[in-house]
Amino acid sequence: MLSAILAHAPALQTVVPLIAAPLCVLFGRRHLAWFITLAASLISAFFAAYLLAQTLDGSIISYELGGWAPPLGIEYRIDAVNAFVLFIVASVGALVAFYARESIEQEIDPALHVYFYTAFLLCLTGLLGVTITGDAFNVFVFLEISSLSTYTLVALGAGRDQRALTAAYNYLIMGTIGATFFVIGIGFLYMLTGTLNMADLAERIAALGDNRTLRIAFVFIFVGIGLKLAMFPLHLWLPNAYSYAPSVVSVFLAATATKVAVYVMLRFLFTVFGFDYGFQAATLQTIVVPLAVIAMFASSIVAIFQSDLKRMLAYSSVAQIGYILLGISLLNKPGLTAGIIHLFNHAVIKGALFMAVGAFVYRIGSSRIEDLRGIGKQMPWMAAAFVAAGLGLIGVPLTAGFISKWYLIQATLDEGAWWLALLIVGSSLLAVIYVWRVVEAMYLAAPVQEAPVKKAPWSMIVPTWIMVLASLYFGINTELTSKAASTAADLLIQATQIEKAPETVPGAPAAGE
Amino acid sequence: MHHHLILRVVSKMLIPPILLYALYVQFHGDFGPGGGFQAGVIFAVAFILYGIVFSLDHLRRAVPPHVVRRFVALGLLIYAGVGVANLLLGGNFLDYSTLAHDPKHGQHYGIILVELGVGITVAAVMISIFFAFASRPPTIKDTDW
């Protein structure tokens, strides 16, 4: 029986939250809705863990949706790359579902709780679907499911702060532009090759070789996904969306949404386009490397001057995405491994940080740093969680963040780019400054509250500490992360057929002219 | 709109054929142009017309907003439910061929059920959107025009 169910694990891990979402609306009871959400996200996490275990050795699972064989039918294709991302999204989803119950009690009108859970489940469905599917157009459909529900989730923050509405609106405009660019790119690819299946696309693109349509398709997809993953100059929607969304939504988005977008970028760059002719390689090396470095510094410096803790963490996220992109655009195996490891580690670390902030908001009703003075003595568990995860953000040894940076620095040294290694260390020092500002306020300043602040509820402390302990565990035992990441990097590089991109001349005339 | 006699009479005459036409588009979708999306919108148009011409309160009495929201969920549930039924019958998700002995008939039943789900959700979403916009308190009063 179980093996029969597990054979359908690829479909079920997306379908279970998809079915749970309308059930929440149909029953219309908020406690029941929470229970359904928790159950559905746990089941999804179970299937995702199973899929990861199946693909960790480098094997590939293909699932034909509706029994139609690819490339005509839609195929769910799972390898180590997306199984790893699926595992991140589904397990963070389960923890967030557990955490949400108390958190939204304070921040969202009880009449809207059912809709919160529905939107959350749809967002989870969308993110899992984007990750698992092997069909380029299906990626767009799921991307829109997750994005539309995310706009709703961000707007639900209006119960606490009306500015959530403008933040959600901005995000909607930017996100829609991104999705439009992405689908225009897909359109070009479809026009060029007549197929939408990613594996099939890759073969036909390789057969066609370099041409102008392909370059245009690449640029549209690159910019579209760049908007979704908040690549440096396209990140303007992110700080507002993260700071005005309900705390639990910030946790979920920071830990999953941008990570899934990074995965889509990886998938298209390596699997679909490949590096055979080097236009993408040139784009990455001449455009993305500088942008990633600017993101690391500019966003960290902006983060230092924020007075709101959530906003500070949001800018820090933009900087951390810079590290991930830097790893990817080094275009060698250690760099890719570092990027994928940091994708996981940053999800865990940022999730833990936002969870701690959510608990502060729950008790104090504010996330301004000046309101958090003296909170270290009043909410010892949460403050300690923040510090432990903050150390990970800086990259102190024995935390997950250290592992990411270690791999990243090794990758830059492999390329002989010692100056990049110095820049990584330098920007980490900026993280020390902004994390220290919060620690100073929490532990060294005199308490601002007259009345004693109660401890956070257990249902918030437990998931937060699971995340924190995970960030420490993956800093000490790197077997799972490094194995999954290096298998994934191997698969991606195999897909491009060549170990390293050839030397390229940017602006070389296209072959089709 | 109490004084718009012509509009009221014409609407009363038009609404039943609109609903009927929606059902035609819905269930003829597997032979001709049509299907759940188009049918859902046409079906909703009948309700929206009723709401505009008669009044929002009349429409609320005919289809209470909380019921409409349940129908949004119901449609999706029918769609996904068909997929799960396929799983239980031993096929892949949304493999309609499992629905009948003859795979061709199975495909036929499957697409009709799925499109029904789409139609219900689209119609309910359209009506919900109308409710959402029409129930907002007017920023400019009718007397200020």
Calculate the average pLDDT of chain A. 88
pLDDT of residue A499: 39
* pLDDT at A508 > cutoff 70: no
Amino acid letter, A115? Y
Q: Do B70 and A63 touch (CB under 8 A)?
A: no
Q: Tell the residue number behind the tokens 């609320």, with chain if given.
A: B60
Strand residue runs (E) in chain B: none
B31-B16-B61-B56 Cα dihedral, nearest 10 degrees: 100
* pLDDT at A500 > cutoff 60: no
* Between A44 and A506, the higher pLDDT residue: A44
Report if residue A333 sits inside a domain. Answer: yes
Report if residue B143 sits inside a domain. Answer: no
* pLDDT at B2 > cutoff 70: no
**What are the chain A neighbours of B69 within 8 Å (beta carbons)?**
25
pLDDT tier for residue A509 given thresholds of 50, 70 and 90: very low
* Between B145 and A24, the higher pLDDT residue: A24
Report if residue B40 sits inside a domain. Answer: yes
pLDDT of residue A277: 54
Which residues are CB-contacts of A506 (< 8 A; sequence separation ≥ 6)?
A: A282, A286
pLDDT tier for residue A155 given thresholds of 50, 70 and 90: very high
Contact criterion met (CB below 8 Å) for B39 and B26: yes
**B70, B80, B95: residue with CB nearest A18:** B80
Report if residue A390 sits inside a domain. Answer: yes
pLDDT of residue A498: 41
* pLDDT at A241 > cutoff 60: yes
Report if residue B17 sits inside a domain. Answer: yes
Complex ipTM: 0.89
Helix (H, G, I), strand (E, B) or coil at A455: coil
pLDDT of residue A131: 94
Per residue in B22-36, pLDDT (tens digit) is: 999 998 877 778 888
pLDDT of residue A458: 86
Q: Do A23 and B84 touch (CB under 8 A)?
A: no
Question: Could you give the number of structural domains in chain B?
Answer: 1
Which class for A210: exposed (0-12), middle (13-18), buried (19 or more C-beta within 10 A)?
middle
* pLDDT at A181 > cutoff 80: yes
Continuous segment of H or E residues that includes residue B3: none
* pLDDT at A506 > cutoff 60: no
Report if residue A459 sits inside a domain. Answer: yes
pLDDT tier for residue A507 given thresholds of 50, 70 and 90: very low
Q: What is the mean pLDDT of residues A150-154?
A: 94
pLDDT of residue A418: 87
pLDDT tier for residue A494 given thresholds of 50, 70 and 90: confident
pLDDT of residue B122: 96
Helix (H, G, I), strand (E, B) or coil at A135: strand
pTM comes to 0.91
Q: What is the mean pLDDT of residues A122-128?
A: 95
Report if residue A497 sits inside a domain. Answer: yes
Q: Which residues of A55-67 are buried (b: 16+ CB within 10 A; e: fewer)?
A: bbeeeebebbbbb
* pLDDT at B45 > cutoff 90: yes
**B66, B81, B97: residue with CB nearest A67:** B97
- Structural domain boundaries, residue A332: 280-504
Report if residue B145 sits inside a domain. Answer: no
Q: Which residue of B has its CA nearest to A66?
A: B95
Per residue in A50-71, pLDDT (tens digit) is: 999 988 888 888 888 888 888 8
Q: What is the mean pLDDT of residues A91-95?
A: 93
Residue A351 sits at the vertex; the CA angle it makes with A375 and A441, to the nearest 5 degrees, is 20
Helix (H, G, I), strand (E, B) or coil at A398: coil
* pLDDT at B11 > cutoff 60: yes
Query: Tokens standing for A51?
Result: 């899929």
Radius of gyration of chain B (CA): 19
- Structural domain boundaries, residue B51: 5-138
pLDDT tier for residue A366 given thresholds of 50, 70 and 90: confident
* pLDDT at A455 > cutoff 90: no
**A11, A22, A64: residue with CB nearest B76:** A22
Question: Could you give the number of structural domains in chain A?
Answer: 1
**Closest approach of chain B CAs to the CA of A12, in angstroms?**
8
Report if residue A412 sits inside a domain. Answer: yes
Question: What span, in angstroms and rounded, lies between the C-alpha atoms of A124 and A242?
Answer: 17
Length in residues, chain B? 145
Report if residue A232 sits inside a domain. Answer: no
Identify from B68, B71, B76 which residue to disrupt to test chain A contact, counting A C-beta atoms within 10 A and taking the largest count.
B76
Which class for A429: exposed (0-12), middle (13-18), buried (19 or more C-beta within 10 A)?
exposed
Length in residues, chain A? 513
Question: What span, in angstroms and rounded, lies between the C-alpha atoms of A329 and A289?
Answer: 6
Question: What DSSP designation does B137 have?
Answer: P
pLDDT of residue A66: 82
pLDDT tier for residue A510 given thresholds of 50, 70 and 90: very low
Which residues are CB-contacts of B57 (< 8 A; sequence separation ≥ 6)?
A: none
Report if residue A423 sits inside a domain. Answer: yes
* pLDDT at A467 > cutoff 60: yes
Report if residue A121 sits inside a domain. Answer: no
Q: Do A23 and B72 touch (CB under 8 A)?
A: no
Report if residue B72 sits inside a domain. Answer: yes
Question: What span, in angstroms and rounded, lies between the C-alpha atoms of B70 and B128?
Answer: 11
